[in-house]
Structure 1
Amino acid sequence: MWDYTDKVKEYFFDPKNAGVLEEANAVGEVGAISCGDALKLMLAVDPETEVITAAKFQTFGCGSAIASSSALTEIIIGKTLEDALKISNQDIADFLGGLPPEKMHCSVMGYEALQAAVANYRGEEWQDDHEEGELVCKCFGVDAGMIERAVRANKLTTPEQVTFYTKAGGGCLTCFDKLEEVLASTNAAMVTEGLIMAEEAYRLGSVDPRQLKTKAKPGAAKPKTDIDQVMAKRPPTASAMPPASAVAAAPSLASTGRLTTVQKIRLIEEGLEEVRPFLKKDGGDCELIDVDGSNVYVKLSGACTGCQMASVTINGVQERLIAKLGMPLRIVPVS
């Protein structure tokens, strides 16, 4: 299991430069909450010297995303835009003392947000959103351009690495063929440019996509995520919600997947009522707004609004509702 560095934990538990920068004149936004990660980077740039005098961020994602976003702001404050643009996603990871391979996409998100913010300051168009025909991974909204940039910047040569750095292919895998094509063509170009050796380049058909979908054995323990690991050592500064095992088991009807819409909503409401007291202890609250298929729309209020730990709260609520209903759900916060 990856041993998270003290700096990752520090920048997760006590994020630097989190919040809204009122005087920002450069803003970069990448990702989407519906895809699991989103980052808004705000910069204050001196018009005469183009020095970044202040930087703040708002992010929705895992602990590594929060730590990476926070680290990015620390790195770029005091730098000119030109120097800031030289920063790579690996620089962000190195600043934190390293990130696990499967969390490198968090540092890539920071890199992309910085590029978008600088483009915004200069009045240029930053195409984070895919153009028609360019979208590769629908599950996480990753386009071919982002994959190519990640492959080139980090010299990626396997589909698994592409998933670690961009999340593309981390869902249903229907995008695997297109992901393969982008990786192979980019590697071929990198060989021509002398960036990698020919024997390192990925070739179409080298990997069976089924190998990337490993199924957990019945009864096997669920691998801990970075949130699980660091939260276990989190200082007792806030009330914790009960573990998923403490949530009332879903009725047999839920486990068979034959819930009616009314029954599903009722169980969701019951689940939220079970966790709301723990949120209220910290001055926050969570209210059900709507249910659309597997998407559960909730509104955070009180201390939960704008909190950098909001993503942890959402993940916790989601886990508990999944345990209660016995079916996959996605919690989507709305304002």
Structure 2
Amino acid sequence: MTDSNIILSVKDLLVKFNLRGKILTAIREASLDLYEGESLAIVGESGAGKSVFTKTFMGLLDANGWVDSGSILYKGEDLAKYKREEDWIKIRGREFAMVFQEPMTSLNPLKTIGSQVEEAVILHQGLKGNKAKKKVIEILDDVGITEPERRYHQYPHEFSGGMRQRVVIAIAVACNPKVLICDEPTTALDVTIQAQILNLLKELQKKYKLTTIYITHDLGVVANIADRIAVMYAGDIIEIGTCEEVFYNAQHPYTWALLSSLPQLGVKGEPLYSIKGTPPNLFNEIKGDAFAPRNEKALKIDFVERPPYFQVSPTHKAKTWLLDPRAPKVEPPESIKILRRQWQVRANG
């Protein structure tokens, strides 16, 4: 990955909302580079700001929200400066498309599946009539819908949850986007269907040469599909690295906590680990490391000064004072040590 491959560059993004006269800071000067052709997962608890962060790329913030400062650079344009709907129309679908987590809220129950996918084909690919219909059937087949010619004429209520999610993915792909954002695309589905949808997204990424962003609260979901993982907490990206680096060599105590919460790291007969406390109130000013009040191993400075990024490797960095050369040695939880030992064994062949 080199700077020349960066397709999107977000710098110091600050996003605020006005809620009943009070100001909530949803994104706190977050920065991120997205590389062309990669698969990036943004993980964190509910309320971390994952969806809000990516909605700024498409101008989809609610009316009471705004980008207060920072930049979103894409193809030489700063999307953070876009104010008019006409500007965003050039971006939505054509450059960025989104797959939402609940397909029934994305589909019109009064229109056939075929007509809904066709709208995107007509608008973004310029096809009409039989050519448009043929393209829709091809896309339905690509997303794994059997008998696409027959299904073309059916309505959303005639599809199962997993099949509806495939249709929503088909609509996004029909826009012919450069970047596909998947917002918790498997949350409403059972485990077997989840795996099918994730494999499908992986296949579509290769076929359509997509750059993909997955938003999820479950690190386990992205283990097999993400090239890189960005960990988000309280509106900021606090750790980012390759999938292997974040899983096996995590540095931030919040990432340790997220990994420790994975059911597969649980010990038989013992209760599953859960993160104590609650995320900070984003109506209030946050001092120091936002995770400090929930971190049993927090240093004094964590409550006073916000940590900068410390570089772990050329592809891995984290915002934690534990990486400062002056910091005392703090041991990670046992589950993290086990993961690190597994990584070392693999690295040594």
The TM-score, its normalising length taken from structure 1, stands at 0.32
Q: Which has the higher contact order (CA 8 A, sep 6+)?
A: 2
Which structure shows the higher helix fraction? 1
The TM-score, its normalising length taken from structure 2, stands at 0.31
